[in-house]
Each structure stands twice: as structure tokens, then as C-alpha cells.
Chain A
Amino acid sequence: MCYIVNHMVQYRDFDASFAALSDATRRGVLEQLVRGDASITDLAGKFHMTLTGMKKHVSILEQAGLVVTEKVGRVRTCRLGKRRLEEEAAWIERYRQLWEARFSELDTIIEELKIKEKRK
């Protein structure tokens, strides 16, 4: 029954994003980048990680299109990849609306059942 959503997920190739977001550090990095751009060195410091470890996380986020990096001189700056975040938020919102529509109909049926019970 989750066919539609499965295929929407597959069609839109969100699996890379899901994988990227399944890690707490990477979600933290995204939250950090919401507040402003940061260098990999800044991020490594904030999350108490080695530079190599943070580079790996950023690389996974970058492959998923969630983060864009740019090297200026010796500093690599990270910022949010806006398009993917917006797409993903839109997907979640459409899915939520589908369920809200279902649950709204379900509310009606539940009210009917409650009235029937009272009459018994």
C-alpha cells in the first residue's frame, strides 16, 4: 500500500539524501549550515572531529546534493545545496498532505461510529 510513495522516492532518487541524513553528525552539519556557511575546519572543530572525518561527512552530503563546497585559496567553504533541501521538504509536505486528507476522512467515519455507539 505504500507503493505510490516508494516509487515517488525511487523516481526522485532520494535514497542518497536519506542515507546522508541518517547520520546524527551530518544532520548537525546541515543545521549548522542553516545558520551560515562554514569551512570544513570550522565544522571539524564544532563537532570535535578530525579534518579527515569531517571531510568524509561533507563528501557524503555533497554527493546527495545537500551541501555545496567551494575552495577559495586554502579554505574549503560549505553551504547548503538549496534545491535538494527544497525538493525533499516538498516531498515530505505532499506526503503529509496525503495523510492529512486521509485522516480528515477518517475523522468523519470515527464520528459516525461514535454516534452509533451512543445510540446502542
Chain B
Amino acid sequence: MSGDTKVERKSEREVVVTRSFDAPVHVVFEAWSRPELFKRWWTPKSVGMSLLSCEMDVRTGGSYRLEFSHPDFPKPMVFFGKYLEVIPDSRIVWTNEESTEASITTVTFEEKAGKTFLVFHEQHPSKAALDEAIGATDAMPEQFAQLDELLTAGLGK
């Protein structure tokens, strides 16, 4: 199944990732919704980051908080938000509130003949919010340049 990950830009604010998994939907959902499993795959070794902590209360209205570290960064990066909708074996919707304006991520799971088709959809903030965030990032372009470098170095093969 590996190698069929597809990335598509749907609009100026949306990116969609799709992939099939050779397992029924309840297995794939379990790997996404149980923190002890989630933290084993969300930061692949090639990215060079590690998860310091991972708190996830995967149910509608629940929240999450992830802390990452990397040797190049003095302080851990914190990612947090709320689960807007959780339908077991079907759908998880969450907010990403570490940015200036919350963006929304939706992941859906669909079973077909014992396999799971997964759609990961990111709705980025509005253009106005994006412009504002660009202003905010000017304060630390070096850090983002480093982040770019680390992603390029870690992922470039």
C-alpha cells in the first residue's frame, strides 16, 4: 500500500491528503485516536522532531495538546486545539489554535472491501488571517528558515 499518498491543493486555503490502508476502518481509527499509538507515527524519524508529550481526549468537545522538541530549537513547540466532532470509525474534526486564527482539520475514514480510504483535509485560515500571520512570522524568519531546512534535509532523499 505504501507510496500511494496523494496531495492535492483544492483552493488557496485547502490542502487534501489521501491514502488507502490495508485494514478495516476500526483499526485505522484506533491508531489515530489512541494517544499511545498516535505518538508513534505522527512524528516520523525522518522529520527529526520528537514528541515530548501528547495529551489527546478524542471525543467531541475534547481537547489535545502536543509538545515537540528538536535539537535546533531552544524551546519546545506546542500545538493545541479542540475536537469539534468525533464520530468513531468515521470522522475526526479538530481546530489548530496555536496560530493567530484557528484553522480546521478534518479526517474521514471510509471502508471499502476491508480496506480503509482516508482523506485528510486542512482548511487554512482566511486570507486576511494569513496576511496577519505573515506579519507575525517576520519576527522570526530565521527560525522558519531553520524549520524549512530541517524539513528539506530530513525529507529530501
Across-interface contacts of B155 in A (CB, < 8 A): 94, 97-98, 101
In contact, A109 and B12 (Cβ under 8 angstroms): no
Q: Which of B's residues lie within 8 Å of A, judged by CB? A: 1-3, 5-7, 9, 11-13, 15, 17, 19, 21-23, 27-28, 30-31, 37, 40-42, 44-47, 66, 77, 79, 81, 94, 96, 98-99, 103, 105, 120, 122, 124-125, 127, 130-131, 133-134, 137, 141, 144-145, 147-148, 151-152, 155-157
Q: With a CB–CB cut-off of 8 A, which chain A residues contact B130?
A: 9-10, 15
- The complex places the Cα of A15 from the Cα of B127 at a distance, in Å, of 8
Q: Is the CB of A102 within 8 A of B44?
A: yes
Compute how far the CA of A46 lies from the CA of B129 in the bound complex, rounded to whole angstroms: 36
Rounded to whole Å, the gap between the CB of A16 and the closest CB of chain B is 9
Q: A2-B103, A3-B77, A5-B15 are in contact. List 14 more A-B contacts (CB 8 A).
A: A1-B94, A4-B151, A6-B133, A8-B147, A9-B124, A11-B134, A95-B15, A100-B5, A101-B45, A102-B42, A103-B2, A103-B19, A108-B41, A110-B31
Contact A105-B27, Cβ < 8 Å, known A2-B105, A11-B137: no
> Using Cβ atoms and an 8 Å threshold, which residues of chain A touch B44?
98, 101-102, 104-105
Segment 11-64 of A: residues with Cβ below 8 Å from B: 11, 13, 15, 18-19, 21-22
Query: Number of contacting residues on A, CB 8 A?
Result: 39
B148–A8 CB distance below 8 A: yes
Contact B1 A3 (CB under 8 A): no
A106 within 8 A of B: yes
Expressed in whole angstroms, the Cα–Cα distance for A103 and B6 within the complex equals 11
B134: A residues at CB distance < 8 A: 10-11, 13
- In angstroms, how far is the closest chain A Cβ from the Cβ of B132? 10
The residues of A that contact B133 with a CB separation of less than 8 Å are: 6-7, 10
The number of inter-chain residue pairs (CB within 8 angstroms) is 135
A110 contacts B66, C-beta separation under 8 Å? no
Determine whether A72 belongs to the interface, using a CB cutoff of 8 Å to chain B.
Answer: no
Q: What are 27 A-B pairs with beta-carbon distances under 8 A?
A: A1-B94, A2-B96, A3-B96, A4-B147, A4-B151, A5-B122, A6-B96, A6-B99, A15-B131, A19-B127, A21-B12, A92-B7, A94-B152, A94-B156, A95-B7, A96-B5, A97-B157, A98-B44, A98-B47, A98-B151, A100-B5, A103-B41, A109-B31, A109-B40, A110-B21, A110-B27, A111-B23
